[in-house]
Amino acid sequence: MIIQYGQALSNYLYDVFVAKFDFWLAFGLVAQLFFTARFLVQWIASERAGNSVVPMAFWFCSMGGGLMTLVYGVVKREPVIILGQALATVIYIRNIMLIIKNRGRASKSLER
């Protein structure tokens, strides 16, 4: 029984990641990696500051990865991805606008 589950999982992973591999799957994977990189950026910035901070690069990674994922969702006709990323991208852009607007003042998340 365990062998059958292992074979089924192996067949599934092969089908998803190898048999269906094309440009758009590669694009979607890169988009997801770019989007996920924002957490690494935030973690490194927080470690350096010795405090939890959200650097500007976090929002650019969010926006870039989100837009790429949105394009992937549109091409693949995935309504869940389209709705989620379209709404999230608006939030990322608004945060970037607020940061630029308040450039001279410290962000509340950066105050000690």
With bands split at pLDDT 50, 70 and 90, how would you rate the model's confidence at 40? Answer: very high
User: Residue 31 has which token pair?
Assistant: 């988009």
Is residue 109 scored above 80 in pLDDT? no
What are the b/e assignments for 23-57, b being 16+ CB within 10 Å? eeeebbeebeebbebbeebbeebeeeeeeeebbee
DSSP 103: T
- Dihedral sign computed on CA atoms, order 23, 15, 62, 79: positive
Q: Compute how many other C-beta atoms are within 10 angstroms of the C-beta atom of residue 62.
A: 25
What value does the mean pLDDT take over residues 60-64? 93
With bands split at pLDDT 50, 70 and 90, how would you rate the model's confidence at 112? Answer: very low
Q: Where are the domains of the chain?
A: 22-109
pTM: 0.76
